[in-house]
Copies of this chain bind each other. A is one copy, B any other.
Amino acid sequence: MTTQSPLVVIVGGGFGGLAAAKELRCSCVKVLLIDRSNHHVFQPLLYQVATSVLAPGQIASPIRSLLAKQANTSVMLGNVTGVDATSKHVIVDANDKVGLRIGYDYLILATGANHSYFGHDEFAAFAPGLKSLADAEALRNHILEVFEKAEIEDDPERRQALMTFVMVGAGPTGVEIASAIAVMARTSLRHDFRRVDPASAHIVLVDLGVRPLAGFSEKLSKAAMRRLTELGVDVRLGVAVQVIDEEGVVIGSERVRAKTIIWTAGVKPSPAGEWLGTLVDHTGRVRIRTDLTVSENPNIFVVGDTASLDQDGSALPGVAQVAIQQGKYAAMSILRRVRGHSPLPRFRYFDKGNLAVVGRNFAVLQSAGVQLSGFMAWLIWAFIHIQFLAEASLRFSVFLQWMWTYISGKRAERLIIRQRIND
């Protein structure tokens, strides 16, 4: 705390890590942000990359250029594999070197979460999730390819399996991607095929719960449900997916043949808990104190999807706003300590509200007692999402792209690009 320039190491360039790094600009600390990928992704719009509306570059920015003007901040492309809390080092694989040790004075772990198959890891091969740009591109390739294959498939049963899309999980991601596929099949693709009719695609949304968008009020769930039905989405509620294999899924006791299955039902946190050997909750997230540090070590902060903190009796949700507010808090907390100021009051999440989009012209919004569904909510959704993109140029570019897609009904990014493996 009395060092000239304490080094703050941030692991992860998602919403939490980036918010922390930005909060530490123009300060007396040095910052090193380490991420496995060279870019920050605006995850709420990943589904639009998967459905050919936006290009990967429109929702992602190089972390290095986002932080280029912060002279006190370095960025490192590397994969953190552990933390040595005793000697204050993170362990990193980078640049073909395994196990590099990097010392820190303060550590912020913002390592996020990945898909969880709840013990059914065999599902993963057939039901990918949507967490990274690589996930989104793979899904885009796949969705475009099944229509291509259906066009030249003679066997009606196999053709139907190619035209069947099953989303497991009716949270915001599941609802958004199901409705986006429905809109794509019924508008953009409609006239491009000669033998199959893309509009006959069968889109199934399954959830164990009794309503879609369970994080919203019952009224908004009902509105979303009506809209999904209008879009022709086949919503199956209160029923479990028993099997996922090459042929499709078993929903309850019914087998549905499908060549596209998308998993949005659950997430598992990064292994930060294992690195620290500290207390975790039932899903594996690190139990943090109300100052966002772990009990054994006040110099280690854990924020975002990989952290577990209760507020008013329930766990904070794994959403961008929590990660951003926690990242900022951790950074401010470190700066106060470095300057010898009194600690911040405990962290409080301020819930600005919740939004989910259901196809074209329709979203649901819930914020501070306000409940709204329909076109106005959709405009607000579009406005807020554009505003939160990391760079002004992306805001402009996404705005134009949306206008164009809205007016023309076309999709700008209908490209199947398969990278070769040997690179």
Contacts and interface: CB of A to CB of B under 8 A. Distances in A.
A226 to B, nearest CB: 31
A65 B152 contact: no
Nearest to A417: B133
A227 interface: no
A148 B194 contact: no
A245 interface: no
A68 B408 CA distance: 14
Given A57-B55, A74-B194, A192-B65, A419 B419 contact: yes
Q: How many copies of this chain does one complex carry?
A: 2
Contact of A56 (B55, B68, B125, B142): B55
A134 interface: yes
Contact of A416 (B37, B95, B153): B37
A144 interface: yes
A101 interface: no
Interface residues of A, number: 59
Given A78-B152, A192-B68, A393-B404, A38 B144 contact: yes
A379 interface: no
A94 interface: yes
A57 to B, nearest CB: 4
A357 to B, nearest CB: 21
A278 interface: no
Contact of A148 (B38, B134, B151, B419): B38
Interface of A: 37-39, 55-58, 60, 62, 64-65, 68-69, 74-78, 94-96, 125, 128, 133-134, 137-138, 141-142, 144-145, 148-149, 151-153, 191-195, 393, 397, 400, 404, 408, 410, 412-423
